[in-house]
Amino acid sequence: MHGPQRQIPPQRRTIYYIGLALTVLGALLFGSLFVSFALHFGDFTDFEARGRSMALRGFGGMALMIIGRLLMAAGARGLAATGLVLDPEQAREDLEPWSRMGGGVVHDALSGYQEASATGSRDPLRDVVAGVQRPPAAASPQPPPLPQVKLRCRGCQALNDETARFCNQCGATL
The CB-side HSE value for 167 (13 A sphere, CA atoms) comes to 14
Distance CA 129, CA 144 (A): 36
Kindly report, residue by residue over 75-109, the tens digit of the pLDDT: 888 777 777 777 777 777 777 776 666 666 666 66
* Share above pLDDT 90 across residues of the chain, in percent, rounded to a whole number: 20
Of 8-12, 16-20, 25-29, 164-168, minimum mean pLDDT range: 8-12
Residue 1 has pLDDT above 50, yes or no: no
Q: What is the dihedral of CA 81, 87, 89, 95, to 10 degrees?
A: -10
- Which segments of 40-144 does DSSP mark as H helices, in order? 47-77, 79-82, 88-119, 124-133
Residue 45 has pLDDT above 70, yes or no: yes
Average pLDDT over residues 113-138: 60
* Share above pLDDT 70 across residues of the chain, in percent, rounded to a whole number: 72
Is pTM, for the whole model, over 0.75?
no
Integer angstrom CA distances of residue 96 from 1, 52, 78, 151: 11, 47, 10, 72
Res 65: pLDDT: 96
Residue 95's identity, in one-letter code, is: L
Which letter does DSSP use for residue 134 in this model?
A: S
Helix (H) or strand (E) holding 30: helix 10-39
Closest CA to 91 of 101, 80, 83: 80
How sure is the predictor about 69, in pLDDT bands with cuts at 50, 70 and 90?
Answer: very high
What is the separation, in whole angstroms, between the first and last Cα of the chain? 83
Res 21: pLDDT: 97
Distance CA 146, CA 37 (A): 71
